[in-house]
Chain A
Amino acid sequence: MPETTSAREQDHQLFAQFVALADDDPTKVQVRDQLISSHLALVGHVARKFANRGEPLDDLIQVGTIGLIKAIDRFEPNKGFEFSTFAMPTIVGEIKRYFRDKTWAVRVPRRMQELGAAVTKATNELTQQLDRSPSIREIAEHLKVDLDDVVEAINANSAYSTVSLDASYDPDAPSLGDRFGSVDEALEGVEYRESLRPLLLALPEREKDILVMRFFENRSQTEIARTLGISQMHVSRILTNTLTRLRAELQS
């Protein structure tokens, strides 16, 4: 990212040169390479914001660089915008698209992924508005879609990878133990035989937190979502995955 006035001027000159060159001019490729190199720091800056979400930083930089190249090709310097302002949404968009495509455990049509996101958003809005969890009919009416499409989106949502679920959990947020006392103590009170307790205690902290809130503190999924700052659908998926794994381990 150009930081000094002279670097900015040089950048403007490079862009002016890049735009003026014909597409078949071999110099154009070299100028573009120079522009890519001089803005790679911007990609690194954006990619680091998406780090800790289960994908290697190098991969994110690679994907973000595709966004940078698209932005360079589309940029019109005579419109007066700073390139970084113009490029940022394209780079972010490319990385988000990568997450959307990459983090589905099974292939879910794009239309259904987008509807899933819309259902999550509508659920949050209606929960605020109604001060209760909305029914599926209310969500369908809000989105002006068929009730069965909402159900299909909910079913498809369960195909979302747990990697991204874990990543969406704010690592800086205080742990449940900080807020409610020891989670392990709550689980120590479980009255089942020895085979269950070690499995519960061995769960990753995030899963243990959610399990305790739902089944030991009797909180609703919506309340848990509010407490943790994640969506109710994320809570639902984490619970489904945790219980499925526990069931398999108990039956093995």
Chain B
Amino acid sequence: MSNIHLRVPAQAEFVGLVRSTTNSVVARTELGIDELADWSLAMDEAFAIVINHKPTSGDVLIDYSFVGGGIEIKVAGPVGSSESVLQSDACRWAWAVVTGSVSEAKSDISSDGSITLILKSRVVASA
């Protein structure tokens, strides 16, 4: 199956669109309904992390890849963030929720301040 790409404005009001798209995509994997619910929570928080510096412009790019009956999602925010943003209580708690909701999570902040999160589900044995 081809990858799916979503580009939305980096504004909190679009989190619902990201959540419902994530539900539709994860529904096409072999993951269970409670994992789908977890992904929904994880994406709410991931979106909040990448726009945590409250940008007024820029987009969030989300790439969905189907991997081994599961899913891998890359969430990349706009430029302008910083380590201090990532160290805020809001971001640290959001990251704790993300890592508690998916099997594997990595974060990266580029020199221009763009935060990228790479989230992976488990590989489903029967897939």
Contacts and interface: CB of A to CB of B under 8 A. Distances in A.
B33 A247 contact: no
B23 A154 contact: yes
Interface residues of A, number: 36
A5 interface: no
A12 interface: no
Nearest to A119: B33
A137 B97 CA distance: 26
A134 B23 contact: no
B41 to A, nearest CB: 6
A221 B100 CA distance: 12
A214 to B, nearest CB: 7
A14 to B, nearest CB: 52
Interface string A111-141: 0000000000001000000001111110100
A250 interface: yes
A221 B34 contact: yes
B35 interface: yes
A79 interface: no
Interface stretch (B76-84, B87-95, B107-115): B87-95
A240 interface: yes
Given A155-B20, A214-B100, A247 B94 contact: yes
A151 B40 CA distance: 12
Chain B, interface residues (CB within 8 Å), range: 20 to 34
Contacts of A33: none
B89 A250 contact: yes
B18 to A, nearest CB: 12
Interface in A218-239: 218, 220-222, 232-233, 235-236, 239
Given A135-B33, A154-B23, A243-B44, 19 more contacts: A132-B32, A133-B32, A134-B33, A135-B30, A136-B36, A137-B27, A147-B27, A150-B27, A151-B20, A196-B89, A196-B93, A215-B100, A218-B100, A222-B34, A235-B37, A236-B41, A240-B44, A243-B41, A250-B93
5 contacts: A134-B32, A135-B32, A154-B37, A155-B19, A195-B89
Nearest 7 pairs of A and B residues by beta carbon: A133-B32, A136-B27, A236-B37, A250-B90, A221-B34, A133-B34, A215-B100
